[in-house]
């Protein structure tokens, strides 16, 4: 049985990232004796050769809204050429927009977490059993769509096998890249309206604790597993809320500074940062903490985004981290429904006051499953066809707004103005100038310089060469 994962390995978000969900699923499938491969979306010739060598093949794709169209299109072409293959999609987009089952060439959609579900489907498909009663899956059967219930997700993440890093490191450039990623947890204890977390919780009603985290011991084991196989000079933890459990963090901090010591980056929430947390992070070599503040307005945060935190709490959390010389990455959202351009400009002013090392501004995208999508639909200000979303390289408003061009320009200039606050008095004038692309590239260059200081390790010639090669591969990408 051959399962072939197909991913856009050299997209912008994958330049420093890794498809961790695929690496976990691969480890589960290999443990059960299945053959697993991973190919870049643009390696059509290699994918065809792999299909020809097996008589039972499952093609598997992880879909994210905005990046899903190219994968669905690619799969449709492959299915025309090889109608016997079985195509499965999963991920956020598939879970909250499962009607994609109606797209040409898709045989099954996996909803929710796929650890046990995909393994069961593959076992059944290999032995030619009935796959149509497999929990978590919607499947096509002639002209009918079979919709199965969801099974409970895995509660103890430590029982899962180590991530299959070898699958990705067959690409030498991914192996040599000095910055690696890991995720220790699933779920999020908060319920922000612009996030998938509330919708994921709603999939599994009852007393189930949706926030789960690997034990600190298991995390260290995963990192040691990376170190044995590849270059590792900096680690980014992709958890939504890394510091949620202070008890967990105490143990992790002690183990990490004893066994690993590599500088790292985490994401967390203002509400779970205090003096002790800042101490633990600093002592274990955390170099940067990412937090979302989204808006300078308490009303917008609490009433629209469901982020109940005051400006004083934000400033206090940032000061605690600065005191420990930990760099700060602040996330901000522009173009929030029910807000004005003046609100976004006030958010810019607030960032100048805080002076984060990496101020990041993005435009709100109401993806399927998000609570804020209800507000967008109620006001009739957004797209209703998610296939119109695209993996855009430049800031672009999706929601209907008279000032959309100015908001796009503000996003492009956001980093520059925070770092050069002398420009703030001229912001209204700057937003009149078509600067989106110029501002975007200047911001990218400045961020790259800042990040090099944040990573604070000595880049070798090989490291620079690796980054250059990755960037060239990204630029050479063509639409599929």
- In order of 231, 245, 297, 363, 409, the CA distances from 308 in angstroms are 40, 19, 11, 21, 28
CA distance 369 to 197: 9
Q: Which two tokens stand for residue 379?
A: 């006001």
Q: What integer best gives the mean pLDDT of the chain? A: 91
User: Per the structure block, which two tokens stand in for 478?
Assistant: 């063509």
The predicted structure's pLDDT at residue 480: 47
- Give the whole-angstrom CA distance, residue 37 versus residue 53: 12
CA 313 to chain centre: 26
- The pLDDT-based confidence of 110 (bands split at 50, 70, 90) is very high
Q: Which domains does the chain have, with CATH numbers?
A: 2-147 (3.40.50.2300), 179-458 (3.20.20.70)
Say if CB 101 and CB 143 are below 8 A apart: no
State the burial class of residue 144 (Cβ atoms within 10 Å of its Cβ: 0-12, 13-18, 19+): exposed
pLDDT reported for residue 434: 81
The pLDDT tens digits for 194-217 are 999 999 999 988 767 789 999 999
What does the pLDDT look like over 17-58, one tens digit per residue?
799 999 999 999 999 999 999 999 989 999 999 999 988 999
Adjacent-strand bridge partners of 186: 212
What is the reported pLDDT for 402? 84
Residues 6+ apart with CB under 8 A from 33: none
How many angstroms separate the CA atoms of 346 and 371, rounded?
Answer: 25
pTM, two decimal places? 0.92
Chain-centroid distance of CA 171 in Å reads 21
CA atoms lying within 13 Å on the CB side of residue 238: 14
DSSP-assigned beta bridge partners for residue 291:
268, 330
Give the pLDDT mean for 424-441: 84
Confidence band (pLDDT; 50, 70, 90) for 378?
confident
Counting residues of the chain whose pLDDT is more than 70, the rounded percentage is 91
Which is more confidently placed, 474 or 213? 213
Q: Name the residue with higher pLDDT: 149 or 383.
A: 149
For 258, counting Cβ atoms within 10 Å of its Cβ (0-12 exposed, 13-18 middle, 19+ buried), the class is exposed
SS3 string of 209-248? CCCEECCHHHHHHHHHHHHHHCCCCEEEECCCCCCCCHHH
Please report which confidence band the pLDDT of residue 289 belongs to, taking 50, 70 and 90 as the band edges.
Answer: very high
Tell whether the model's pLDDT for residue 231 goes beyond 80: yes
Percentage of residues in the chain with pLDDT exceeding 90? 74
Please determine, for residue 350, whether its predicted confidence score (pLDDT) is greater than 70: yes
- Pairing assessment for the beta strands 144-147 and 137-141 based on DSSP bridges: antiparallel
Q: What integer pLDDT is reported at residue 15 of this predicted model?
A: 65
Of 443, 395, 435, 434, nearest in space to 416 by CA:
443
Give the E-state strand segments of 102-224 in sequence order.
108-110, 137-141, 144-147, 179-182, 185-186, 212-213
Helix, coil or strand: residue 192: coil
Element (H, E) at 327: strand 327-334
Segment 449-460 shows an average pLDDT of 71
Tokens 């600093």 — which residue?
Answer: 282
pLDDT tens digits along 132-182? 999 999 999 988 999 999 999 999 999 999 999 999 999 988 898 889 999
CB-based contact 360:327 (threshold 8 Å): no
Measuring CA to CA, which residue among 466, 470, 473 is closest to residue 178? Answer: 466
Dihedrals φ, ψ of 207, to 5°?
-90, 10
Look at residue 261 in the predicted model and tell me its pLDDT: 92
Please give the Cα distance from 58 to 123 (Å, whole number). 11
Long-range CB pairs of 157-160, under 8 A, 24+ apart, other chains included: 157/185, 157/186, 157/212, 157/213, 157/214, 157/218, 158/214, 158/215, 158/218, 160/24, 160/27, 160/28, 160/115
As a whole number of angstroms, the distance between CA 281 and CA 264 comes to: 9
**What are the residues facing 110 on neighbouring strands?**
137
pLDDT band at 461 (very low <50, low <70, confident <90, very high): low
pLDDT at 89 over 60: yes
pLDDT at 143: 86
């Amino acid at each position: 049985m051959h399962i072939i994962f197909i991913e856009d390995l050299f997209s912008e978000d994958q330049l420093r990232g890794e498809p961790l969900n695929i690496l976990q699923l691969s480890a589960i499938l290999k443990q059960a004796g299945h053959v697993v491969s991973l190919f870049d979306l643009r390696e059509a010739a290699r994918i065809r050769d792999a299909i020809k060598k097996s008589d039972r093949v499952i093609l598997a794709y992880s879909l994210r809204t905005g990046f899903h169209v190219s994968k669905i299109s690619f799969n449709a072409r492959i299915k025309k050429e090889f109608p016997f293959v079985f195509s499965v999609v999963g991920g956020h987009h598939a879970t909250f927009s499962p009607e994609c089952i109606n797209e040409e060439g898709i045989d099954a959609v996996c909803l929710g977490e796929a650890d046990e579900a995909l393994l069961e489907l593959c076992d059944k498909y290999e032995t030619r059993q009935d796959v149509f009663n497999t929990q978590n899956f919607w499947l096509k059967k002639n002209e009918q769509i079979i919709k199965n219930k969801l099974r409970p997700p895995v509660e103890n993440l430590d029982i899962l096998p180590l991530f299959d890093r070898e699958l990705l490191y067959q690409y030498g450039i991914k192996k040599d890249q000095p910055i690696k990623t890991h995720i220790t947890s699933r779920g999020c204890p908060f319920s922000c309206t612009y996030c998938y977390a509330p919708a994921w919780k709603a999939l599994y009603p009852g007393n189930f604790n949706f926030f789960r985290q690997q034990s600190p011991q298991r995390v260290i084991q995963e990192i040691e597993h990376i170190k044995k196989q590849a270059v590792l000079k900096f680690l980014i933890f992709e958890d939504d809320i890394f510091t949620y459990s202070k008890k967990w963090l105490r143990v992790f901090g002690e183990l990490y500074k004893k066994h690993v010591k590599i500088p790292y980056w985490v994401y967390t929430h203002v509400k779970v940062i205090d003096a002790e947390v800042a101490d633990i992070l600093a002592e274990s070599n955390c170099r940067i903490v990412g937090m979302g503040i989204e808006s300078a307005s308490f009303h917008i945060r609490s009433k629209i985004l469901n982020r109940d935190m005051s400006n004083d709490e934000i400033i206090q959390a940032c000061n605690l981290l600065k005191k420990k010389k930990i760099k700060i990455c602040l996330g901000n959202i522009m173009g929030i429904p029910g807000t004005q351009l003046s609100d976004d400009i006030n958010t810019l002013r607030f960032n100048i006051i805080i002076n984060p090392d990496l101020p990041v501004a993005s435009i709100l995208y109401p993806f399927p499953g998000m609570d804020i999508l209800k507000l967008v639909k109620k006001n009739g200000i957004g797209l209703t066809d998610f296939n119109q979303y695209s993996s855009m390289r430049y800031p672009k408003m999706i929601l209907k707004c008279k000032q959309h061009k100015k908001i796009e320009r503000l996003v492009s200039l956001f980093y520059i103005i925070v770092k050069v606050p002398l420009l703030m008095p001229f912001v209204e004038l700057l937003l009149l100038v078509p600067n989106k692309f110029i501002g975007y590239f200047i911001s990218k260059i400045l961020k790259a310089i800042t990040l090099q200081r944040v990573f604070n390790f000595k880049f070798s010639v090989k490291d620079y060469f690796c980054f250059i090669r990755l960037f060239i591969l990204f630029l050479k990408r063509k639409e599929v």
